[in-house]
């Protein structure tokens, strides 16, 4: 009650802000009220989901109080708003995170217990919103957390997919995909804003005519109009009393559009229209699938970009009628090229719909937009077949051509006569078929371009965007990724969080450089044993879940060696397997071999159309079947494939790891963020000099990091000189033994053909140099084994890893974006 009185008083200066009570009694009342009024349930008949919904609504109410206060605060016209455009937000479950960030955890737990339930049970009820594929989408979610925590006015704009990333089942060792029906029991966190809706045109053609004043006017006559409706989700900052906004767009039919068909009795036609319109936001595309030719994906990208920009323009016009000043209202970040149509769409809106001249529009577009590149893999660099682009977006193609014409003029002035360069930098690819190159569009239309780790940015400048770097070096900068310590330590590893806070205070949660204070505890035996106790408890919890989900019993005393991430050849899960096979053979050959017991845990989804990745999953499971049932290695080696790796499962897995596998071919993993989550939870890393591994090693110290393999320069040199994987096979007996075992049918019930495609790929191609790095990896793993035998020393390294990981908080990343790219000041605390 006190709280309410206090905020009610301050509401006079802040608008209406009746923050609801956050004590146990108030929470108890609120849960029962929601059960009654929102869920329409009697307590005696309520299901677990009813209670989950009631609790979530009670929590949301309290966040909305902060949200409305934040909105009031952010109406200040001086504040620039960060607009983060992303086709993916891999949020993970909301409830636990919101309880942590708002500080309501204890009250909610007590209130729930007073109702005869447990908070743990209700937390388990939530279906996580899997609106992303992996690192890129999860990064966007960490950034929303940091933006709200740092009190930066911000909106995340994206797509409200009806089906997120598929759920993974393992059947007979194979991945089977099932639809992710995350909305089936309702989503208590979102608020549908039916009145915030925009029309999005698609297809058709353009026409030119002169208006009454003799000016040339351009009309785009589409064949289709779709409506985008806003669904808002509040994002709680950590104890900041700021609630940020995630606005996702759902596609709907425009009511009026097919009224005629309806009137003519063509009821089914009208309903068809609705089905087609709603299909735009039906499903998230799994990545690693060739995107070319997927009209629906281009439509998704355009749809969300257009809704978002129309929304931003509406907000800007509330502040100022001058669209030339749009860049003072918004800083727009394009998360990869998926939203890069924003460049052309903002031009279209400004020029065609709001009457700005081209030059003025271009100036403001460029100073608003910034582009983050997340990959160097050629197959992930988006390009759209010109014809497909023209069919869906005829007006945008004209705009792209005009941007290109002017841009290529600049290029030829800077590099007279350099035809090859012009061809490379053009927004249109014309070698072979014709394509629109989205990375070029994003680069030309942005004032800033960044990579996501130091090495990645350097390689970006040398390779994929070299021409752009040479022409405009000042546009380029690096912002190394980060992860939020709220979800990834406080929420997922409460034991560790408590130990840390008891030792050095709680400031580390928002000032992770304070973790350095842990260094002096690294020589304190009682602290080290408490540290080990926490890790062991986390390992036991994971072991219990592994047993429940896979039927495999694992020994929590063994070394937990974990690789969880998307399955991809460049991430080299198969290199990990080669190590397992070698240990297996060593033990079989020499039962006395000094090999500390290990549990190898894998997890990750393969894109449904990625044959080799799916075969790797099958091989992991097949090796597991043989190794786990072989009495000769019993108690020494176990292999587990943890099904359906997602944010929820990650929260259980990262805290339980001893060893983090970050073994991609150097130069291929742009950053990685799982590497950070592991290390922040006290795992040691075995890794290559790739992505953010390089910086993690710099921070934690080379003596606390297990490094192996070729570096990016050596990888390039080896490829250039002609790489022959077969030689490594011939020259290394243990490698040969491992590969031959796979080939022999030992893991496939005698079916020697099953893994042949994988073996052939390794022997005759091995694009990602697994065989070249095999020996170095094995030697490094021996250093790991030796180190793990000295438990005390291992724990010291583990503490030092955590103590030195402060740099990798997403708060630091967001501060860098603010300073280097968005030009947004970090504000003093919100005046509550
Ligand atoms: C990725 C990179 O592969 C990954 O290394 C990086 O950490 C994340 C976030 O920057 O982005 N790029 C990409 O296309 N996906 C990623 O996860 N899907």
| Buried/exposed code over 89-117 (b: 16+ C-beta within 10 A; e: otherwise) | bbbbbbbbbbbbbbebbebbbbbbeebeb
Q: Flag whether pLDDT at 761 surpasses 60.
A: yes
Mean pLDDT for 267-271 is 72
Q: Which of 153, 299, 328 is nearest to 240 (CA)?
A: 153
Only one residue has tokens 């425009």, namely 254
Q: Distance from the CA of 541 to the center of ligand 1, in angstroms?
A: 29
DSSP for 326-343, written as a single string = HHHHEEEEEESSTTTHHH
Helices (H) and strands (E) in the chain, counts: 34, 24
Inter-CA distances, 688 with 54, 377, 496, Å:
47, 17, 27
Q: Ligand 1: does its nearest atom lie under 6 Å from the Cβ of 675?
A: no
DSSP for 566-603, written as a single string = ---GGGTHHHHHHHHHHHHHHHHH-TT-----EEEEEE
DSSP for 211-259, written as a single string = -TTS-EEEEEE-SEEEEEEEEEEEEE-SSSS-EEEEEEEEEEE-TTTTH
Q: Ligand 1: does its nearest atom lie under 6 Å from the Cβ of 133?
A: yes
β-bridge partners, 602: 563, 641
Please name the residue whose Cα sits nearest to atom 18 of ligand 1: 136
- Give the pLDDT confidence score for residue 532 in this predicted structure: 98
Is there a contact between 676 and 659 (Cβ–Cβ < 8 Å)? no
Is there a contact between 225 and 497 (Cβ–Cβ < 8 Å)? no
Given the residues 227, 338, 456, 565, select the one marked as catalytic: 565
Given the residues 149, 673, 685, 688, select the one marked as catalytic: 673
Q: How far apart are CA 399 and CA 502, in angstroms?
A: 59
Q: Flag whether pLDDT at 3 surpasses 50.
A: no
Q: Distance from the CA of 146 to the center of ligand 1, in angstroms?
A: 19
- Give the pLDDT confidence score for residue 273 in this predicted structure: 77
- Give the pLDDT confidence score for residue 753 in this predicted structure: 96
Mean pLDDT is lowest, of 10-24, 438-452, 714-728, for 10-24
Q: Flag whether pLDDT at 1 surpasses 50.
A: no
Is there a contact between 93 and 50 (Cβ–Cβ < 8 Å)? no
Only one residue has tokens 């020499």, namely 590
Work out whether strand 130-131 and strand 224-236 pair parallel, antiparallel, or are unpaired. Answer: unpaired
Q: Give CB contacts under 8 A, 24+ apart, made by 590-593.
A: 591/632
β-bridge partners, 706: 686
- Work out the burial of residue 514: count CB atoms within 10 Å of its CB; fewer than 13 is exposed, 13-18 middle, 19 or more buried: middle
Q: Flag whether pLDDT at 452 surpasses 90.
A: yes
Helix intervals (H) in 320-435: 326-329, 341-348, 358-368, 386-392, 394-414, 419-425
Residues near 69 by Cβ (< 8 Å), separated by ≥ 6? 14, 15, 17, 19, 241, 832
Given the residues 60, 247, 461, 571, select the one marked as catalytic: 571
Q: Which helix (H) or strand (E) holds 429?
A: strand 428-429
596-635 pLDDT, tens per residue?
A: 999 999 999 999 999 999 999 999 999 999 999 999 999 9
- Give the pLDDT confidence score for residue 8 in this predicted structure: 32
Q: What DSSP state is assigned to residue 337?
A: S
β-bridge partners, 413: none
Q: Ligand 1: does its nearest atom lie under 6 Å from the Cβ of 691?
A: yes
- The helix/strand/coil state of 80 is coil
Q: Which helix (H) or strand (E) holds 390?
A: helix 386-392
Is there a contact between 677 and 562 (Cβ–Cβ < 8 Å)? no
278 confidence band (pLDDT: 50, 70, 90): confident
Q: How far apart are CA 175 and CA 614, in angstroms?
A: 7
| Buried/exposed code over 225-255 (b: 16+ C-beta within 10 A; e: otherwise) | bbbbbbbbbbbbbbebbbbbbbbbbbbbbbe
Is there a contact between 770 and 762 (Cβ–Cβ < 8 Å)? yes
| Total number of residues shown for the chain | 832
Q: Output the CA torsion sign for 380, 383, 388, 394.
A: positive
Q: How far apart are CA 154 and CA 315, in angstroms?
A: 13
Inter-CA distances, 683 with 36, 433, 516, 780, Å:
46, 48, 17, 16
Q: Ligand 1: does its nearest atom lie under 6 Å from the Cβ of 286?
A: no
Residues near 629 by Cβ (< 8 Å), separated by ≥ 6? none
Query: In this predicted model, which residue has the larger pLDDT, 353 or 210?
Result: 353
What number does the ligand 1 atom closest to the CA of 287 have? Answer: 18
Q: Distance from the CA of 671 to the center of ligand 1, in angstroms?
A: 7
Q: How far apart are CA 608 and CA 444, in angstroms?
A: 34
Inter-CA distances, 744 with 4, 221, 756, Å:
72, 62, 9
What number does the ligand 1 atom closest to the CA of 672 have? Answer: 7
Q: How far apart are CA 681 and CA 492, in angstroms?
A: 9
β-bridge partners, 198: 228
Q: How far apart are CA 108 and CA 31, in angstroms?
A: 9
Residues near 292 by Cβ (< 8 Å), separated by ≥ 6? 383, 384, 385
Q: How far apart are CA 186 and CA 440, in angstroms?
A: 40
- The helix/strand/coil state of 710 is coil
Specify whether 535 is catalytic. no
Q: Ligand 1: does its nearest atom lie under 6 Å from the Cβ of 394?
A: no
Q: Flag whether pLDDT at 9 surpasses 60.
A: no
Please name the residue whose Cα sits nearest to atom 4 of ligand 1: 672
645-684 pLDDT, tens per residue?
A: 999 999 999 999 999 999 999 999 999 999 999 999 999 9
Q: Ligand 1: does its nearest atom lie under 6 Å from the Cβ of 380?
A: yes
Given the residues 19, 151, 160, 374, select the one marked as catalytic: 374
Q: Which of 89, 194, 95 is nearest to 147 (CA)?
A: 89
pLDDT mean across residues, the chain: 94
Alpha carbon 590 to chain centroid, angstroms? 44
Q: How far apart are CA 825 and CA 832, in angstroms?
A: 19
Specify whether 605 is catalytic. no
Q: Flag whether pLDDT at 259 surpasses 60.
A: no
- The helix/strand/coil state of 516 is helix
Q: How far apart are CA 749 and CA 582, in angstroms?
A: 20
Cα diameter, the chain: 93
Residues near 632 by Cβ (< 8 Å), separated by ≥ 6? 587, 588, 591
Q: How far apart are CA 633 and CA 637, in angstroms?
A: 6
Domains of the chain, earliest start first: 1-76+93-127 (no CATH), 130-479 (3.40.50.2000), 485-519+558-805 (3.40.50.2000)
State yes or no: ipTM above 0.95: yes
Q: Output the CA torsion sign for 659, 665, 671, 672.
A: negative
β-bridge partners, 333: 84, 370
Q: Ligand 1: does its nearest atom lie under 6 Å from the Cβ of 88?
A: no
281-336 pLDDT, tens per residue?
A: 999 998 765 554 589 999 999 999 999 999 999 999 999 999 999 999 999 999 99
- The helix/strand/coil state of 355 is coil
Q: How far apart are CA 752 and CA 757, in angstroms?
A: 11
Q: How far apart are CA 287 and CA 565, in angstroms?
A: 13
64-102 pLDDT, tens per residue?
A: 988 888 887 777 778 899 999 999 999 999 999 999 999
Q: Distance from the CA of 22 to the center of ligand 1, in angstroms?
A: 38
Q: How far apart are CA 349 and CA 669, in angstroms?
A: 36
- The helix/strand/coil state of 20 is coil
What number does the ligand 1 atom closest to the CA of 456 have? Answer: 5
Q: Distance from the CA of 375 to the center of ligand 1, in angstroms?
A: 6
Mean pLDDT is lowest, of 6-20, 87-101, 765-779, 780-794, for 6-20
Is there a contact between 450 and 370 (Cβ–Cβ < 8 Å)? yes
Please name the residue whose Cα sits nearest to atom 7 of ligand 1: 672
Specify whether 677 is catalytic. yes
- Give the pLDDT confidence score for residue 4 in this predicted structure: 35
119 confidence band (pLDDT: 50, 70, 90): very high
């Amino acid at each position: 009650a006190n709280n309410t009185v206090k905020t009610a008083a301050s509401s006079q200066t802040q608008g209406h802000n009746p923050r609801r009570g956050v004590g146990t009694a108030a929470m108890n009342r609120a849960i029962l009220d929601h059960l009654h009024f929102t869920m329409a349930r009697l307590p005696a008949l309520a299901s677990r989901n009813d209670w989950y919904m009631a609790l979530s609504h009670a929590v949301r109410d309290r966040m909305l109080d902060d949200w409305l206060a934040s909105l009031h605060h952010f109406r200040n016209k001086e504040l620039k708003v960060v607009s983060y455009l992303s086709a993916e937000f891999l949020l993970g479950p909301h409830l636990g995170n919101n309880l942590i960030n708002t500080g309501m955890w204890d009250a909610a737990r007590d209130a729930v217990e007073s109702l005869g339930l447990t908070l743990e049970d209700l937390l388990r009820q939530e279906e996580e919103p899997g609106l992303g594929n992996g690192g890129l989408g999860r990064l966007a979610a960490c950034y929303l957390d940091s933006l709200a925590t740092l009190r930066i006015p911000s909106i995340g704009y994206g797509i409200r997919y009806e089906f997120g990333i598929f759920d993974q089942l393992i059947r007979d060792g194979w991945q089977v995909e099932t639809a992710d029906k995350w909305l089936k029991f309702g989503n208590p966190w979102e608020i549908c804003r039916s009145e915030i809706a925009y029309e999005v045109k698609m297809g058709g053609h353009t026409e030119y005519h002169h208006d009454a004043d003799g000016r040339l006017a351009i009309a785009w006559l589409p064949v289709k109009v779709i409506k985008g409706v806003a669904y808002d989700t509040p994002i709680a900052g950590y104890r900041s009393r700021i609630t940020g906004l995630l606005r996702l767009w759902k596609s709907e039919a425009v009511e009026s559009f097919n009224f005629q068909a309806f009137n003519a009795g063509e009821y089914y036609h009208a309903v068809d229209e609705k089905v087609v319109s709603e299909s735009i936001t039906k499903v998230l595309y799994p990545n690693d699938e060739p995107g070319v030719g997927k009209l629906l994906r281009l439509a998704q990208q355009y749809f969300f970009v257009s809704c978002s920009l129309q929304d931003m323009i509406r907000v800007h016009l509330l502040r100022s009628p001058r669209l030339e000043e749009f860049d003072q209202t918004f800083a727009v970040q394009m998360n990869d090229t998926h939203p890069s149509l924003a460049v052309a769409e903002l031009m279209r809106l400004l020029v065609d719909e709001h009457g700005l001249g081209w030059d003025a529009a271009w100036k403001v577009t460029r100073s608003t937009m910034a582009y983050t590149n997340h990959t160097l893999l050629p197959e992930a660099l988006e390009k759209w077949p010109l014809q497909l682009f023209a069919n869906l977006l005829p007006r945008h193609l004209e705009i792209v051509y005009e941007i290109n014409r002017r841009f290529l003029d600049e290029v030829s002035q800077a590099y007279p006569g350099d035809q090859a360069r012009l061809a490379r930098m053009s927004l249109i690819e014309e070698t072979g078929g014709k394509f629109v190159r989205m990375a070029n569009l994003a680069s030309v239309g942005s004032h800033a371009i960044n990579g996501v780790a130091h090495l990645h940015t350097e390689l970006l400048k040398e390779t994929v965007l070299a021409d752009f770097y040479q022409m405009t070096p000042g546009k380029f900068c690096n912002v190394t990724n980060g992860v939020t310590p709220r979800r990834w330590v406080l929420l997922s590893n409460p034991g560790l969080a408590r130990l840390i806070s008891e030792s050095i205070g709680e400031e580390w949660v928002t000032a992770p450089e304070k973790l350095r204070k842990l260094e002096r505890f690294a020589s304190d035996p009682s602290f080290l044993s408490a540290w080990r106790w926490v890790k062991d408890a986390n390992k036991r919890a994971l072991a219990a879940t592994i047993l429940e989900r896979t039927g495999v019993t694992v020994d929590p005393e063994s070394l937990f060696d974990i690789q969880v991430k998307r399955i991809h050849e460049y991430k080299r899960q198969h290199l990990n397997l080669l190590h397992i096979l070698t240990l297996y053979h060593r033990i079989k050959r020499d039962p006395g071999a000094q090999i500390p017991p290990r549990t190898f845990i894998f997890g990750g989804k393969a894109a449904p159309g990625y044959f080799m990745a799916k075969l790797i999953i099958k091989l992991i499971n097949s090796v597991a079947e043989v190794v786990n049932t072989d009495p000769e290695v019993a108690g020494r080696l176990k292999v587990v494939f943890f099904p359906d790796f997602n944010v929820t499962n990650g929260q259980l897995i990262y805290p339980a790891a001893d060893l983090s596998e970050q073994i991609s071919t150097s130069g291929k993993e742009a950053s990685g963020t799982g590497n950070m989550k592991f290390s922040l939870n006290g795992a040691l890393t075995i890794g290559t000099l790739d992505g953010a591994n390089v910086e993690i090693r710099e921070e934690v110290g080379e003596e606390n990091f297990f490094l192996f393999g070729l570096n990016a320069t050596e990888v390039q040199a080896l490829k250039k000189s002609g790489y022959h994987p077969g030689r490594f096979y011939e020259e290394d007996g243990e490698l040969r033994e491992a590969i031959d075992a796979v080939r022999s049918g030992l893991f496939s019930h005698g079916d020697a053909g099953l893994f042949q495609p994988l073996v052939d790929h390794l022997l005759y191609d091995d694009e990602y140099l697994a065989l070249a790095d095999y020996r170095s990896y094995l030697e490094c793993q021996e250093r790991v084994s030796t180190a793990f035998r000295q438990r005390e020393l291992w724990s010291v390294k583990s503490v030092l890893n955590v103590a030195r990981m402060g740099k990798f908080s997403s708060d630091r990343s967001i501060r860098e974006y603010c300073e280097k790219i968005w030009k947004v000041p970090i504000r003093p605390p919100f005046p509550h």
